[in-house]
């Protein structure tokens, strides 16, 4: 079945440093979504990417979808303590449900 | 802003007992989901529900699990005979009519099986 992997599993950064998490799928995706889960909270939708090579920005967050639609990345510029949480990608391979990656847990040291 | 609600927030049960977890999806949404998340691990898909029937289910969603939409608002997950390994956070999610809409997650129900 479809597998979605993410690296790194954990990332500790100093406030102000950049952060990137990478997502890879074993199959071609129709689209990919990114979610953020704060400690003790529930996943909150961040963005959806649909087109091959698509790049979207939300303030300090930049999301990319690979040309082959099998990989994606999330980059945060100049991290802040409010960025703390686990970032999940979720891939849809033309079905009606999404397969979540294991997540990257981000810690930001003030 | 509309939101998905779930009750109870925490359920403690004895192994072998039946539990029902309740969800009220966003009112005009058409697709409903249950996920579970074992502490510190990834979010795992259990089941999706559309047009009053299950559209997809994972290997986790075996005969011990069932879902219902008994009326126009509630969406329930039943575990017939709970096992210790069912202890997890269970999230309900819903999304609108378009295939690629974002999913809105509820706050979750923490299930503890003793």
Q: What is the DSSP string of A36-102?
A: EE-TTS--EEEEEE-STT-EEEETTEEEEE-TTSSEEEEEESS--GGG-EEEEEEEESSSSS-EEP-
A102 with B42: Cβ contact below 8 A = yes
Per residue in A59-81, pLDDT tens?
999 999 999 999 999 999 999 99
pLDDT, mean of residues B20-38 = 94
CB contacts < 8 A, A to B, total 53
Per residue in B5-26, pLDDT tens?
999 999 999 999 999 999 999 9
A100 with B44: Cβ contact below 8 A = yes
B45 with A97: Cβ contact below 8 A = yes
Nearest chain B residue to A31 by CA: give it.
B100
Strand partners of residue B92 = B34
Q: Which of B35, B100, B104 sits opposite A31 (nearest CB)?
A: B100
d(CA B106, CA A25): 26
CB count in 10 Å sphere of residue A102 = 17
pLDDT for residue B1: 79
């Amino acid at each position: 079945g479809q597998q979605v992997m993410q690296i790194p599993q954990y990332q500790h950064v100093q406030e102000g440093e950049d952060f990137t998490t990478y997502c890879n799928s074993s199959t071609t995706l129709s689209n990919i979504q990114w979610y953020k889960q704060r400690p003790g909270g529930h996943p909150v939708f961040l963005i959806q990417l649909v087109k091959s090579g698509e790049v979207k920005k939300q303030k300090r967050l930049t999301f990319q979808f690979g040309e082959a639609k099998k990989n994606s990345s999330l980059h945060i510029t100049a991290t802040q303590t409010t960025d703390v949480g686990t970032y999940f990608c979720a891939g849809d391979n033309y079905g009606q449900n999404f397969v979540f990656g294991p997540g990257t847990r981000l810690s930001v040291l003030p | 802003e509309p939101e998905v609600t779930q009750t109870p927030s925490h359920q403690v049960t004895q192994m072998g007992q039946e539990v029902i977890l309740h969800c009220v999806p966003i009112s005009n949404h058409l697709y409903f989901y249950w996920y579970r998340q074992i502490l510190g691990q990834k979010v795992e898909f259990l089941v999706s529900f559309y047009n009053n029937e299950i559209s997809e289910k994972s290997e986790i969603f075996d005969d011990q699990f069932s879902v219902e939409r008994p009326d126009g608002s509630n969406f329930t997950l039943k575990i017939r005979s709970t096992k210790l390994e069912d202890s997890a956070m269970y999230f309900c999610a819903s999304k609108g009519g378009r295939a690629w809409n974002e999913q809105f997650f509820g706050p979750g129900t923490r299930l503890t099986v003793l």
